[in-house]
Amino acid sequence: MENIIFHIDVNSAFLSWEAVYRLAHKGGTLDLRDVPSAVGGDIALRHGIILAKSISAKNCGVKTGQSIPEAKRQCPSLLLVPPNYGLYEECSAAFMDILREYSDTVEQYSIDEAFVDMTSSCHLFGTPENTAEEIKDKIRDTLGFTVNIGISDSKILAKMASDFKKPDLVHTLYRREIPRKMWPLPVTEMFFVGRATAKKLFSMGIRTIGELAAADPAWLKAVLQKHGEIIWGFANGIDLSPVLAQPEPNKGYGNSTTVPFDVTDAGTAHKVLLALSETVGNRLRSDSAKIQVVSVGIRYFDLSYFSHQRILDSPTDLTMEIYNAAKELFLEFWDGRPIRHLGVHTGRAKKDDSGRQISLFDELDYEKLAIVDRTVDTLRERFGTDSVMRAAFLNQPIDHMCGGISREKRTVDYDKVTVL
């Protein structure tokens, strides 16, 4: 085999990590993985969705991304626990550290999964299958949670293999095994095939991955554009993307937040946009990057979504410049309906600073704003996020640096939580 690629995926990651922590550190006696349970957000804050579920909860029909009331209707005995992203980040880091003991080329694909290129190091440990078993068992015995590992010569096939029967198993999906192991599967199991794409494929008479692989790629492209070519290639095991030890540079930065109440006035919306611009600007400066496109997204009370964008005259990382653009965009297309969710996103990110195009009509002192931003970043890094806050957020229900993972999801006060 030319390449040896592993895809390692933590089984029910958030729930597994929560279960292990409660058993090992909080005196818990009930393993959340053994009962119908799930990690879910706070309905009161309108973050009420299922983030992870146990296998028995899945067997009851509970799905990731499902609303908590709906999940409760399908599984009345469902045990819900709050999310703790700080814990999950620690568990993820420990998981990645073990993978790096086996290869120098580890690509973290998400918080709970990674690709590992074992081509040049697998011979040090044994056959691919034996090496995968060793990694799987070491993670379980050292960290207390289980993983699935898929083995192939490409990333897409390794990922497909890791999604086979779970938990705590190793699967192969070599090219010669595609007809037997992958093609009989429903097309909905194909990576990159979401609900909308699946619906179109069904209308075309394509219901299995094998039927997708046998379809005319020109026909698929005509109906699904470039996406059709991509999924046809995946269905045939075609994937030339390498495992990247260093992530590719971000093409854009963004944050969004679901507000605990419906926003019905521009003033409150502006505060949310300012808070989001604070976090986006901070991330840009932390990465020494600048952007030239700003977009604003609005999700209304009825869950309909609209967005609008603008190209700036010069690349920027300044909080106030991002905010001013976001505020103007918002006023251009908000139709006055109650708002549930707001987002500020950016594009055309670059790390090389080509300087600013000077304009006679500029009223902003960009150098002064840059000094203020850098000073505030330094103070927050040293003394905490809340050490410096704009006066506009005093005694306000809007978090002055909202977006991304909210505060209530970053940690859990276990003294206020019943640990069974």
Question: Could you read off the pLDDT of 59-107 as tens digits, one per residue?
Answer: 999 999 898 989 999 999 999 999 999 999 999 999 999 999 999 999 9
Backbone angles phi, psi at 134, to 5 degrees: -65, -45
Lowest-pLDDT choice from 55-69, 159-173, 343-357 = 343-357
Per-residue pLDDT of 199-245, as tens digits, reads: 999 999 999 999 999 999 999 999 999 999 999 999 999 998 999 99
Q: Within the chain, how many helices (H) and strands (E) appear?
A: 14, 12
Q: Picking from 169-183, 282-296, 397-411, which range would have the lowest pLDDT averaged per residue?
A: 397-411
Contact call for residues 69 and 85 (beta carbons, < 8 A): no
Provide the CATH topology of domain 254-405.
Answer: Dna Ligase; domain 1 (3.30.1490)
| Beta strand ranges found along 69-105 (DSSP E) | 79-81
The pLDDT assigned to 411 comes to 84
Residue 409: what are its φ and ψ, rounded to 5°? -95, -10
How much is the CA Rg of the chain, to the nearest whole Å?
Answer: 24
The β-bridge partners of 344 are: 255, 296
Q: Can you say whether the dihedral through the CA atoms of 343, 349, 351, 356 is positive or negative?
A: negative
Q: Is the pLDDT of residue 366 over 90?
A: no
Residue with tokens 């030339």: 240
Q: Which residue has the higher pLDDT, 391 or 44?
A: 391
Per-residue model confidence (pLDDT) at position 351: 84
CA pair distance 420, 409, nearest whole angstrom: 20
**pLDDT at site 357:** 65
Domain 1-110+119-175 part of CATH 3.30.70.270:
yes
Asked whether the predicted pLDDT for residue 46 surpasses 70, the reply is no
Count the Cβ atoms, other than its own, within 10 Å of residue 71: 26
pLDDT at 167 over 70: yes
β 254-263/5-10 pair status: unpaired
Alpha helices (H) along 236-345: 266-286, 319-333
**What is the token pair recorded at 4?**
């040896």
Active site positions, annotated: 113
Domain boundaries, the chain: 1-110+119-175, 183-235, 254-405
For 313, 376, 378, the CA distances from 373, given in Å and listed in that order, are 20, 5, 9
Per-residue pLDDT averaged across 5-21, rounded?
A: 96
pLDDT confidence band for 397 (50 / 70 / 90) = confident
* CA separation for the pair 274, 398 (Å, rounded): 10
Chain centroid to CA 2: how far?
A: 31
The mean pLDDT value of the chain amounts to 92
pLDDT at residue 1 tops 60: no
How many angstroms separate the Cα of 130 from the Cα of each of 171, 172, 327?
A: 11, 12, 57
According to the model, what pLDDT value does residue 25 have? 94
Q: What is the DSSP string of 235-266?
A: HTT---PPP-SSPPPPS--EEEEEEEEEE-SH
Which homologous superfamily is 183-235 in?
5' to 3' exonuclease, C-terminal subdomain (1.10.150.20)
Mean pLDDT over 141-163 rounds to 97
Q: What is the pTM of this model?
A: 0.85
Q: Say which amino acid occupies 26.
A: K
